Amino acid sequence: MNLTLKVWRQKNAKDKGQMVEYKVTEISEHMSFLEMMDVLNEQLINSGDEPVAFDHDCREGICGMCSMYINGEAHGPDRGVTTCQLHMRMFKDGDTITIEPFRAKAFPVIKDLVVDRMSFERIQQAGGFISVNTSGNTQDANSIPISKEAADEAMDAATCIGCGACVATCKNSSAMLFVGAKVSQYALLPQGQVEATERVLNMVAQMDAEGFGNCTNTGACEVECPKGISLENIARMNREYLSASLKG
Ligand code: SF4
Ligand code: FES
């Protein structure tokens, strides 16, 4: 495949940035999107130009680093995949592909396609830890009864990889799908009950302090989430928040 790429180039956080057009040739349909970006970067390096900066780590849908907005969609046109899992077979010869960073006030661009998602880390830090007695009297995990339904729902929530696609997709730059997933993974389990009240209050307060918008139930986040995190997690977080506020 021969492709035209329109890529967001921005030297640093203060630079205004602009779209720059590149051509790449002989792209295999079996390549991943990031491998195609590697081809572009090799080309740029060979011609003495600055390669395009983009985040990546695991390249198998686990780390949540590969944040790209491709043809107007977070992680591109496929469903249930991250950018590193997106295959070039989703495109066709002669296509023009627009590649931008995830855009949100709380995700400032650092360089080219790299954004600062420390706001997510600070929200998780605000959530704190769970109390587990490890003093030698640790209760056997198998002796704590947890319904299959709750275990499955907690596991589903825990699959959130913190990629930020939900924020980039939301017209309000809301982080509620992410925070809902992080609150839910503990709220559904007995181990998460001890700090449940302060956890949800602190995480929501940090989410607001970081400048994320509110949820208006559009549901775009759920559609674009590579892990299929359900809107039900936002509803659960809202219930947790309300009951914590009444207690607090
Ligand atoms: S909820 Fe989905 S889109 Fe949002 S950070 Fe988690 S995995 Fe990414
Ligand atoms: S590089 Fe890790 S999820 Fe894409």
Phi, psi of 42 (to 5 degrees): -60, -45
Domain that holds residue 44: 3-111
Residues 214 and 97 in one domain: no
Question: Which of 90, 111, 132 delimits the end of a domain?
Answer: 111
Phi, psi of 69 (to 5 degrees): -105, 110
Residues 123 and 231 in one domain: yes
Query: For ligand 2, which residues put their CB under 6 angstroms from it?
Result: 56-59, 61-66, 82-84
Angle between helices 232-247 and 196-209 in degrees, nearest 10: 110
Counting ligand 1 atoms within 8 A of each CB, the residue from 115, 225, 232 with the most, and so the one to mutate, is 225
Residues 235 and 177 in one domain: yes
Please, which residues bridge with residue 111 across strands? 114
pLDDT at 71 over 90: yes
Residue 175 CA to ligand 1 center (angstroms) comes to 9
pLDDT at 132 over 80: no
Residues 103 and 133 in one domain: no
Phi, psi of 19 (to 5 degrees): -80, 135
Minimal CA–CA distance to 110: which of 161, 37, 53, 172?
53
Q: How many domains does the chain have?
A: 2
Return the residue whose CA atom lies nearest to atom 6 of ligand 1: 160
Question: Which of 87, 111, 135 delimits the end of a domain?
Answer: 111
Residues 202 and 179 in one domain: yes
Q: Residue 13 — pLDDT band, cuts 50, 70, 90?
A: very high
Residue 182 CA to ligand 2 center (angstroms) comes to 19
Amino acid at 44: L
Closest ligand 2 atom, CA of 66?
4
Q: How far apart are CA 124 and CA 207, in angstroms?
A: 10
CA dist 147 → 37, 68, 123, 150 (Å): 45, 38, 28, 5
Looking at residue 135, its pLDDT comes to: 80
Residue 160 CA to ligand 1 center (angstroms) comes to 5
The verdict on the CB of residue 178 being under 6 Å from ligand 1 is yes
Minimal CA–CA distance to 245: which of 204, 189, 185, 188?
204
Please, which residues bridge with residue 205 across strands? none
Residues 214 and 104 in one domain: no
pLDDT in tens, 192-203: 999 999 999 999
Lowest mean pLDDT among 106-115, 123-132, 136-145: 136-145
Closest ligand 2 atom, CA of 63?
2
Question: Which residue matches tokens 């023009």?
Answer: 96
Question: Which of 79, 111, 143 delimits the end of a domain?
Answer: 111
Q: Residue 248 — pLDDT band, cuts 50, 70, 90?
A: low
Residues 121 and 220 in one domain: yes
Q: How far apart are CA 129 and CA 138, in angstroms?
A: 17
Which CATH number belongs to the domain containing residue 45 in this structure?
Answer: 3.10.20.30
The verdict on the CB of residue 164 being under 6 Å from ligand 1 is yes
Residues 128 and 96 in one domain: no
Count Cβ atoms below 10 Å from residue 11 Cβ, excluding itself.
12
Which ligand number lies closest to the CA of residue 177? 1
Residues 21 and 107 in one domain: yes
Residues 35 and 121 in one domain: no
Residues 195 and 173 in one domain: yes
The verdict on the CB of residue 74 being under 6 Å from ligand 1 is no
Residues 150 and 202 in one domain: yes
